[in-house]
Structure 1
Amino acid sequence: MAQLIVRNLDEEVVRRLKLRAAQNGRSAEAEHRAILEAVLLERSSQSSLKQLLQSMPDVGEDTDFLLST
């Protein structure tokens, strides 16, 4: 497995990472891994905006969107 070193982090970011890790019952390193995996791996399985819009039901009338004068 590869290693990643992150330098020059704001102290507030580190504090929040440690707090989040404690809330989730894991180390800061494990929490860091979980965040990276959630953002970089899991999101790729989500639908695209186009797919989301296409899945919306066809309701209402086009005239609902006309500007009244």
Structure 2
Amino acid sequence: MSLGPYVIDTRDGRVGQVMAREGGFVQLRPPGGGVEWDCPPESVAPAPAPEGSRARARATGQEGRLP
């Protein structure tokens, strides 16, 4: 599965990775994993470069800790 970009949920400022689009919502997952949440498409904005870079680094760090 191809994962999507890191974006910001403009309702609360959380950064998440686009996992899917389902039922009229965009499903986002926090960097490094965790519980996905639904976000209306109109509340999704591209993550600025610093936030996207930090999110990718956190996700990579989490992957390195898996057994």
Q: Is the TM value for this pair above 0.5?
A: no
By percentage of residues, which structure has more helix?
Answer: 1
Q: Greater strand share, 1 or 2?
A: 2
What is the TM-score of this pair, normalised by structure 2?
0.32
- Pick the structure with greater CA Rg: 1
TM score, norm. by length of structure 1: 0.31
